A and B are shown apart, each in its own frame.
Chain A
Amino acid sequence: QKEVEQNSGPLSVPEGAIASLNCTYSDRGSQSFFWYRQYSGKSPELIMFIYSNGDKEDGRFTAQLNKASQYVSLLIRDSQPSDSATYLCAVEGAQKLVFGQGTRLTINP
């Protein structure tokens, strides 16, 4: 079983809609969770982090964490074409980050 799993996509969402990205992890002891955005040919960029169960909002982005279900999600409201990228979920484990394979998101104008 992979430590961090994401649907590789591609996920296609119309402009203005809500994009929902999901991630599950295997280490119940993990305490810190991160979402990175990676544009094609660029480096990963940290966009959200969450440490506690529940929701955390930052502008159009909301991260959701459910430790009991070992589930992290990222919601992007009012999706824009500029949100088209690969989104990497990362989970802290054994003093380091473990990344999922990423979900490729395309926002269609």
Chain B
Amino acid sequence: DAGVIQSPRHEVTEMGQEVTLRCKPISGHDYLFWYRQTMMRGLELLIYFNNNVPIDDSGMPEDRFSAKMPNASFSTLKIQPSEPRDSAVYFCASSFSGRAYEQYFGPGTRLTVT
């Protein structure tokens, strides 16, 4: 079975540009999580969905960040406009409700904003 799929794997963009990160969770998983990892702040939860519905977005840093999950097999995290401080590795993870806390991570998207 394929794991969590993320695209792109690397993204380099200029400040002010819109960035869209994509995620396909493991089939059958009904929880999806977006994390950001930096050296300074470690791994931070941005938002998570259950059955395509956003449950907790308290970790989203500001209005420039938005996330959607239009169906069970696809989610996006959008940053508009991007800033250099958004440079980080963004991970998507998924789990199923029987073991919601056992999360499986995708390979991540390394975002660099210049």
Contacts and interface: CB of A to CB of B under 8 A. Distances in A.
Interface of A: 32, 34, 42-46, 49, 88, 90, 92, 95-102
B55 interface: yes
Contact of B42 (A43, A46, A97, A99): A99
Interface of B: 33, 42-45, 48, 55-56, 91, 101-108
Given A46-B102, A96-B56, 17 more contacts: A42-B107, A43-B105, A43-B106, A43-B107, A44-B43, A44-B105, A45-B105, A46-B104, A88-B43, A95-B56, A96-B45, A98-B45, A99-B42, A99-B43, A99-B44, A101-B42, A102-B42
Given A43-B91, A44-B43, A97 B101 contact: yes
B101 A92 contact: yes
Which of A42, A92, A97, A101 is packed against the most chain B CB atoms within 10 Å? A97
A46 B103 contact: yes
Nearest to B39: A101
A43 B56 CA distance: 22
Contacts of B105: 43-45
Contacts of B103: 46, 97
A43 B89 CA distance: 9
B102 A49 contact: yes
A92 B100 CA distance: 10
